[in-house]
């Protein structure tokens, strides 16, 4: 009984760690702009808050997984939690006592700890249950991970709304008590763990895999696929991808000779594991389509930016329901069937968003799409892939295998947004032209004996400054009309006011003065814009939705690729 209690205690602390780590990956995203303003840094510089964590996290995963197999999962997990807690504390303190450099160093410490949490916890939980219950256990992991990942941005926004933007450090401080609880629970639990005979640590392999991952991840993070030919020439892209191409064969050669390699190349010769890794990459790529759901929902429902968090919550609920069920289905049927079902549901959901919700915007059409996407995510994110890996490797290598799976999934996560964002970017570029087509034509007042100045607002965007165009491109569906008004007023003051001033300054002019005339012109034109509010909002909504439609079609293609890959898996339940 005492042994079972300790085992249950460990299960709780591992699940709690997964929830905390997964929540943190998304909770920081909405605060990036706030943090940038706090340190008075540019948007390009602030992206390092996310990038440096992603890079360090990816590097830490395979090394932490290997160390846990060699020295004990619980021991390395505790070290990972401690590092994550220390990093979180320093991140929070940088808000009040530090600077941006301290924040970046703290994010690296946090990421090194975070990189060990998910794969080690997943491996331990999978090892703790008999084969007939392994799928259900891993389903719990998938459910918790999916819910936490999806809710992260909404929780982050909610905390900032409560504590205020100036106290963004609280986002990191909340991890500290959770880490302390996990550490206390780990001390109270007493379990024996089988540890394989210690071998020489693969230092050379650890260094090579770190450099290889850093090169690949940094290159992919900066690569813009919608401007591929231009982007590939960037100093932030090609040198790193070239380094990856050079380092990869060196890594393979070194790991083949290593006594206890940090990256076991045998995984890639096993058909089931190789397919699982390919599918993990696809799952990671598909997951990032979810990032755009709040903005899509805001545009569909015509609500202001930042208020679409609850839309993701709806999807998280469906994902949380399907994940544990999918785990039980893995035990009863096979991982293959669950993956096929999950990718089918995801494809139906993303196509519903692309073809139905984008063209018939309503809460109902959005809900139907999110229902299928959420159910599909729950089936693909957790139990099936973890199960395949778990049953196809030796028990003493489960953490190493899980960390490899997580690493491949992270590469998919890194590459996907740069592909999908291109569709939204293109829609944004078309926005100004589309709006110009429906903005009311200006009728200038006629002054006897004088030619009215030309001010056709609908002609084109030539001669308009980038700042003025940004007014339109940065708007949302609830602010677009006000942005058009501001845009139009600026154009009138820039282009028409000087001509009006000149016209009213001629000798013998007896009309209203220039200021009065300009006020009449501006007020009259702004009223025309207000009268066209519905037309302008609908054009803005449909133009942006065209970009989202293509984005979700892209996500559907990714899901179909996952479906095809899943069909290649073995039918035998034992090797599923």
- What domains are there in the chain, each with its CATH number? 1-190 (1.20.1250.20), 263-439+532-576 (1.20.1250.20)
Among 43-47, 69-73, 159-163, 322-326, name the one with the lowest average pLDDT: 43-47
Segment 11-38 shows an average pLDDT of 81
Q: Is the Cβ–Cβ distance between 386 and 122 less than 8 Å?
A: yes
DSSP per-residue letters across 104-145: HHHHHHHHHHHHHHHHHHHHHHHHTS-HHHHHHHHHHHHHHH
With 80 as the cut, is the pLDDT of residue 340 above it?
yes
Cα 313 from Cα 47, distance rounded (Å): 25
Stated as kind and residue range, the H or E segment containing 377 is helix 363-380
* Range of lowest pLDDT (38-52, 144-158, 356-370, 465-479): 465-479
Per-residue DSSP letter, 73:
H
CB contact at 8 A, 224 and 209: no
The residue ranges of DSSP E strands in 32-186, in sequence order, are none
How far apart are alpha carbons 91 and 375 in whole angstroms?
A: 35
Under 8 Å between Cβ of 110 and 53 = yes
- How far apart are alpha carbons 133 and 128 in whole angstroms? 10
Dump pLDDT digits (tens) for 505-550. Answer: 777 767 778 778 788 888 888 888 888 888 888 888 888 888 888 8
Across 343-356, average pLDDT: 94
CB atoms within 10 A of CB 359: 12
Q: Do 576 and 336 meet the contact criterion of CB atoms below 8 Å apart? A: yes
The set of residues, in sequence order, having a beta carbon less than 8 Å from that of 484 and lying 6+ positions away, is 435, 439, 472, 529, 536
Higher pLDDT, 29 or 439: 439
The model's pLDDT over 145-204, given as tens digits with 9 standing for 90+, comes to 877 877 777 788 788 888 887 888 998 999 999 999 988 888 777 665 666 555 677 788
Round to whole Å and give the CA distance between 479 and 272.
51
């Amino acid at each position: 009984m005492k042994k079972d209690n300790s085992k249950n205690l460990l299960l709780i602390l591992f699940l709690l760690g997964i929830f905390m780590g997964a929540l943190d990956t998304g909770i920081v995203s909405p605060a990036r702009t706030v943090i940038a303003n706090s340190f008075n840094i540019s948007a390009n510089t602030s992206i390092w808050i996310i990038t440096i964590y992603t890079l360090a996290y990816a590097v830490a995963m395979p090394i932490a997984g290997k160390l846990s197999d060699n020295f004990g999962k619980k021991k390395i997990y505790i070290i990972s939690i401690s590092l994550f807690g220390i990093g979180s504390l320093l991140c929070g303190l940088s808000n009040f006592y530090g600077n941006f450099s301290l924040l970046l160093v703290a994010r690296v410490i946090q990421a090194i700890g975070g990189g060990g949490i998910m794969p080690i916890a997943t491996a331990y939980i999978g090892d703790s249950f008999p084969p007939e219950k392994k799928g259900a256990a891993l389903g719990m992991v998938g459910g918790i991970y999916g819910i936490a990942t999806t809710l992260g941005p909404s929780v982050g926004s909610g905390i900032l709304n409560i504590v205020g933007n100036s106290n963004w450090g609280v986002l990191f401080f909340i991890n500290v008590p959770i880490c302390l609880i996990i550490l206390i629970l780990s001390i109270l639990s007493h379990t024996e763990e089988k540890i394989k005979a210690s071998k020489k640590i693969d230092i050379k392999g650890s260094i090579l895999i770190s450099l290889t991952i850093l090169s690949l991840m940094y290159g992919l993070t900066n690569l813009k696929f919608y401007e591929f030919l231009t982007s590939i020439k960037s100093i932030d892209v090609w040198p790193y991808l070239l380094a990856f191409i050079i380092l990869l064969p060196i890594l393979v050669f070194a790991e083949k000779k290593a006594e206890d390699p940090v990256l076991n190349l045998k995984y890639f010769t096993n058909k089931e594991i190789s397919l699982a890794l390919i599918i993990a990459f696809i799952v990671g790529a598909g997951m990032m389509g979810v990032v755009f759901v709040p903005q899509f929902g805001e545009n569909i429902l015509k609500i202001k930016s930042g208020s679409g968090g609850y839309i993701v919550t709806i999807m998280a609920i469906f994902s949380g329901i399907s994940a544990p069920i999918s785990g039980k289905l893995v035990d009863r049927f096979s991982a293959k069937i669950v993956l096929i079902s999950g990718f089918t549901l995801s494809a139906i959901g993303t196509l519903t968003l692309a073809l139905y919700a984008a063209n018939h915007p309503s809460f109902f059409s959005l809900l139907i799409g999110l229902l299928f996407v959420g159910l599909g995510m729950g089936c693909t994110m957790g139990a099936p892939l973890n199960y395949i890996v778990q049953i196809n490797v030796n028990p003493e290598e489960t953490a190493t295998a899980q960390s490899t799976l997580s690493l491949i999934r992270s590469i998919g996560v890194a590459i996907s947004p740069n592909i999908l964002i291109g569709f939204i970017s293109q829609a944004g570029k078309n926005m100004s032209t589309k709006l110009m087509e429906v903005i009311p034509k200006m009728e200038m007042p006629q002054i006897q004996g004088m030619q009215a100045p030309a001010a056709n607002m609908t002609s084109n965007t030539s001669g308009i400054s980038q700042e003025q165009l940004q007014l339109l491109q940065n708007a949302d569906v609830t602010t677009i009309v006000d942005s058009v008004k501001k845009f139009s007023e600026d154009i009138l003051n820039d282009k028409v006011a000087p001509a009006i001033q000149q016209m009213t300054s001629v000798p013998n002019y007896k009309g209203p003065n220039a200021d009065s005339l300009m006020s009449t012109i501006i007020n009259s034109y702004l009223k025309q814009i207000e009268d066209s509010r519905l037309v302008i909002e609908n054009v803005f909504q449909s133009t942006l939705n065209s970009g989202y439609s293509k984005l979700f079609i892209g996500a559907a293609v990714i899901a179909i690729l996952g479906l095809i890959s899943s069909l290649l898996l073995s039918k035998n339940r034992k090797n599923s």
